[in-house]
Amino acid sequence: MLLDDHRGAVYRFLVAAVGVNDADDCFQETFVAALRAYPRLRDASNLRSWLLTIAHRKAIDAHRARNRRAIPVESVPERAAGPAADGEPGLSEGVWEAVRQLPSKQRASILHRYVNDLPYADIGRIVGCSEAAARQNVRAGLASLRGAWEQ
Amino acid sequence: MNDLERALWRAGDHDDRAAVAARAFVERADREGLIDVAYTTVDAPVGELLVAGTSRGLVRVAFGGIPHEKVLLELAEDVSPRLIEAPARLDSIRRQLDEYFEGRRTRFEVGLDWRLTHGFARRVLKHTARIPYGDVSTYKSMAAAAGSPRGARAAGNALGANPIPIVVPCHRVLHSGGGLGGYGGGLDRKALLLELEGVTGPWARRQASRSGSR
């Protein structure tokens, strides 16, 4: 019900969606955008979905910006500047790298399903598709992840 | 189902980093004037206090007796949903409350936002705000000061619903006969605040006889 109650969900989503390096900026952008728009929000019961919808858009912006930046310096590893001591990078971090390579709707659906445990109906609303399509996106995403995972 | 899904579920604990990101966001939102209500909590001998302020001043102080979540939802409803935990905005009142509870402060220097009070209740509370530290008054005289000499009971209700207790010292208002009367935060807290301010009365003995039971 309160904006502050959803900090964790938004941050977890963003770390998974764009990585720790861009998550802070996206987090700030998301909540500032939310505060700017907040008086217009009618249905406070959907606050979390609404915040995650904004976060989703900010994540897409960050991906685009990164792709633009990445063109001239292809050889520089994306996360080279990341803090190495930041938790246990091993297994989960590898998966998230693979998730970030998925097409955007699959990526977002997987993130909302597994990071924030959202029902498919909410995922559909956030990503902009039907509940069935959200389910299909998760399935397809899992299938291609499994391909990468098992190699 | 398998390693892949387990790895996905293990999204990692990012709460510390989220807190850092949140702090940066709060600073920026404050700079850009996007926070209508800032709130924080203060540890006090009367239990944790929730303290909330607007651009006009202090708007709400709440004891732990009411769940803070409920108070925050009311503030979102009654003042503005642009309500954010922003401790830095409330540094001054936090420091003053600390000093008050250490016995080093006898008056608060803080602007007050009266918007959660109306009519007779607001008048009663504004008069109450002038009762000095260590002094007491009665429901009857507060009612009279607010223009309704026979409105002691209504004054009691207004004081019981005081949205800014401690700073607007409704604990300094007692029964004409010298009894403690009532208190929105509970009588034990009222007795404790009066004791802190060096006010003695029959209730002090009552407290002592029940010491240990809070």
- Residue B34's pLDDT band, with cuts at 50, 70 and 90, is very high
Give the residue, A25 or B10, on which the prediction is more confident.
A25
In the structure encoding, which two tokens stand for residue B45, read together? 């001998």
From the number of C-beta atoms within 10 Å of its C-beta (0-12, 13-18, 19+), residue B103 rates as exposed
As a whole number of angstroms, the distance between CA B152 and CA B139 comes to 5
Per-residue confidence (pLDDT) for residue B188, from 0 to 100:
93
The enclosing domain of B67 has a CATH number of 3.30.160.70
Last residue of a domain, one of B116, B147, B182: B116
Can you give the pLDDT at residue B213?
41
Q: What is the mean pLDDT of the segment spanning B21-32?
A: 91
Which of B126, B133, B151, B132 is closest to B141 using CA atoms?
Answer: B151
> Is the Cβ pair B17, A20 closer than 8 Å?
yes
Q: Do A95 and B15 touch (CB under 8 A)?
A: no
Nearest to B134 by CA among B198, B180, B181: B198
pLDDT tens, B87-111?
999 999 999 999 999 999 999 999 9
Task: Indicate if B169 belongs to the active site.
Answer: no
Q: Which residue among B8, B14, B73 places its CB closest to the CB of A11?
A: B14
Does some domain include residue B17?
A: no
Q: Which residue of B has its CA nearest to A28?
A: B25
β-pairing, B49-53 vs B58-62, is antiparallel
- pLDDT of the residue at B1: 53
ipTM of this complex: 0.73
How many domains is chain A partitioned into structurally?
A: 1
> What CA–CA distances, in Å, run from B48 to A16, B93, B212?
35, 14, 19
Q: In 3D, which of A5, A57, A87 has the Cα closest to residue B12?
A: A87
Final residue before a domain boundary, out of B76, B93, B116: B116
- Is the CB of A114 less than 8 angstroms away from the CB of B5? yes
Segment B182-186 shows an average pLDDT of: 91
**C-alpha to C-alpha distance for B23 and A139, rounded to whole angstroms:** 37
- CB neighbour list of residue A33: distance below 8 Å, 6 or more residues apart: A54, A58
The minimal CB distance from A31 to the residues B4, B20, B25 is found for: B25
pLDDT of B187-202, one tens digit each?
999 999 999 999 987 7
How close, in Å, is residue B77 to chain A by CA atoms? 11
Looking at CA atoms only, how far is residue A145 from chain B in angstroms? 8
Q: Per-residue pLDDT tens for A84-94?
A: 333 333 445 67
Predicted local distance difference test score (pLDDT) of residue A147? 81
CA distances for B56 relative to A75, B110, B117, B206, B209, angstroms: 54, 10, 14, 40, 43
Provide the pLDDT for residue A150: 72
Q: What is the secondary structure of A82-140 as a DSSP string?
A: S-TTSS--HHHHHHHHHHHTS-HHHHHHHHHHHTS---HHHHHHHHTS-HHHHHHHHHH
- Summarize the confidence of residues B23-34 as an average pLDDT: 92
Question: What is residue B92's predicted lDDT score, i.e. its pLDDT?
Answer: 96
Contact B3 A32 (CB under 8 A): no
Do B39 and B88 lie in a common domain? yes
Domain coverage including residue B83: 27-116
Residue A44, pLDDT > 70, answer: no
A12: nearest CB among B4, B14, B29:
B14
User: What are the chain B neighbours of A146 within 8 Å (beta carbons)?
Assistant: 4
Final residue before a domain boundary, out of B116, B139, B154: B116
Residue with the larger pLDDT of the pair B38 and B11: B38
**Domain tally, chain B:** 2
The one catalytic residue among B37, B170, B180, B193: B170
What is the percent of chain A where pLDDT is above 90? 24
Give residue A75's pLDDT: 38
How much is the pLDDT for A112?
Answer: 86
Q: Which residues of B touch A7 (CB under 8 A)?
A: 18, 22
pLDDT at position A27 over 60: yes
Q: Which domain range does residue A22 map to?
A: 3-149
Nearest-CA distance from A125 to chain B in Å? 22
On whether residue B172 sits in a domain, the answer given is: yes
Tell me the CATH number at B193.
1.10.10.10
Whether B76 and A1 have beta carbons less than 8 Å apart is answered as yes
Q: Check pLDDT > 60 for residue A72.
A: no
Does B180 map to a domain? yes
pLDDT tens digits, one per residue of A28-43: 999 999 999 876 665 5
Residue to substitute from A2, A10, A86, A99, interface B, most B β-carbons within 10 A? A2
Of residues B13 and B115, more confidently modeled = B115
**Which of residues A94 and A18 earns the better pLDDT score?**
A18
Asked if B81 and A28 come within 8 Å (Cβ–Cβ), the reply is no
Q: Over chain B, what is the mean pLDDT? A: 89
Residues B85 and B71 both lie in one domain: yes
Q: Quickly list DSSP for A24-82.
A: HHHHHHHHHHHHHHGGG---GGGHHHHHHHHHHHHHHHHHHHHHHHHTTTTTS-TTTTS
3-class state of residue B87 by DSSP: helix
B98, B163: one domain: no
Per mean pLDDT, which range of A49-58, A102-111, B23-32, B196-205 is the poorest? B196-205
Is residue B168 within 8 A of residue B190, CB to CB? The reply is: no
A129 Cα to chain B: minimum distance (Å): 22
Mean pLDDT for chain A overall:
78
Tally: H helices and E strands in chain B: 9, 6
Amino acid at position B70, single letter? K
Q: Write out chain B residues lying below 8 Å of A23, CB-based.
A: 14, 17, 21
Q: Are residues B102 and B130 in the same domain?
A: no
pTM of the model: 0.78
Please indicate, yes or no, whether residues B106 and B124 belong to a single structural domain of this protein: no
Residue B43 falls in which region: left (phi positive, over 0), alpha (psi -120 to 50) or beta = beta
